[in-house]
Structure 1
Amino acid sequence: MNIVVFGATGMIGRRIAAEAVRRGHHVVAASRSGAAPLDHALLTAAAADANAPEQVADVVRGADAVVSALVPPRDGSDPRKPFAALNEAFLEGVRRGGVRRVALVGGAGSLRTDGGARLMDAPGFPAEYQGEALAHADLLDALAEVADLEWTSVSPAAMIAPGERTGVFRTGGDQLITDADGNSAISAEDFALAFVDELEQAAHPRARMSVAY
């Protein structure tokens, strides 16, 4: 596959790019800086602003799939409107580039707990992550209205951090996946593995999937 990864220099994006080239896919790693997240013969770096549809279109043209590992602003301001505008521009660029398949790194905050409430509405959800959780929830709502793209939103567990690539994890839908002790976690490496599985298999068209141990 020919895959374009936006946000390829971030913690999750660089691991998705690495997992894709590990499997023999050709990857264009797109970021505003144009920096390469890793040195690999199958990876090419490109400078592009996801807020500029024409720049997105130029980079994605001819791709089989486009990945968004874009994140909301983390400068202390309300991220909801800027993140919505960013994704509106990004998806318009994907359309102009003639690509239909797009997979996005989503958030965990809107996943449903056993009681039916969203994780971000549960007692004890960290206040500092509330804005980002709401921004990702807004994006998921907006994607539900998108009929002209084959999109998938992939939500990580409640806790995601660099770790091991074990290849052992569970996938689900809108429900928060927890272990026997109620913990919800995934390594960024295993999340990337599940993400590239989805790129290859397209098992969740126009839907959200979740990944956790």
Structure 2
Amino acid sequence: MKIAVIGATGMIGSRAVAEAARRGHTVDAYSRSGRLPEGATEAFSLDTADTQKTVDVIADHDFTILTVVNGRTGDFATDIENHRALIAARPRGRFLVVGGAGALQADEHTMLKDTEGFPAEYKIEADSFAQIYLDYVDSEGLEWSMLAPAPVIAPGERTGQYTVALDVPAGDSVSAEDFAVALIDEAEMNEHTGKRFTVAN
């Protein structure tokens, strides 16, 4: 397969590139810096605010992973705007958006972000991911999926094993390496188009 990873130099993106390359896929890496991460075939500069270029990337690949969070620099509103522009542009091709754990459901009526004790420092990020998810749910004619991590995700061991759930946490934590395994499994197996799923160790 020909796979694109947008946000390829971050914790998740770089591991997705490495996992895809490990399985013999052709991997194009996209980031603002245009740096070539280990395992990538080619690297390109891309800002997801450039909607047409992002649409073109999705159209030119068998599967595209978007793992870009502008809000980490304090501007989550830009993330929402960029995804809304992408939805409106109706890209043709399969793509996956990396979501956030705080927007998963604690129960039928309540998201984790709205539960007592949810860390205040992550609330704005979780609100943003919740809106992005709802925007995709309301979209039509797109081959999107969303993978959200467990509440705790950090560099760790690649076991190649994980538990899957839809819309609710599958467990407490997941290694970034096994999260990348799940990303490339979805690229290969195409089991969650039009859905949000989550994984945990």
Q: Which runs of 5+ in 2 are unaligned?
A: none
Give the length in aligned residue pairs.
201
CA deviation vs aligned residue, 1:54-97 (integer Å, no higher than 9, x gap)? 322444442111110011412345x2x211112233456672xx
AA matched with 1:64: D
Could you tell me the percent identity over the aligned residues? Answer: 40
Aligned partners of 2:142, 2:35: CA distance in 1, in Å?
28
Q: Is 2:82 the counterpart of 1:86? A: yes
- TM-score, normalised to structure 1, is 0.87
Q: Which runs of 5+ in 1 are unaligned?
A: 179-183
Q: What RMSD in Å do the two structures reach over aligned CA positions? A: 1.8
Q: Which runs of 4+ in 1 moved over 6 A?
A: none
Q: 1:44: how far off?
A: 0.9
Secondary structure of 1:204's counterpart equals coil
Aligned partners of 1:137, 1:196: CA distance in 2, in Å?
23
* Matching residue of 2:100: 107
Q: Is 2:112 the counterpart of 1:119? A: yes
Matches within 5 A, 1:108-147: 108-113=101-106, 117-147=110-140
* C-alpha contact (below 8 Å) 1:53/1:92 kept by paired residues: no
Secondary structure of 2:141's counterpart equals coil
Matches within 5 A, 1:126-205: 126-178=119-171, 184-205=172-193
* C-alpha contact (below 8 Å) 2:58/2:94 kept by paired residues: no
AA matched with 1:165: R
Which structure: greater helix fraction? 2
AA matched with 1:25: H
* C-alpha contact (below 8 Å) 1:6/1:69 kept by paired residues: yes
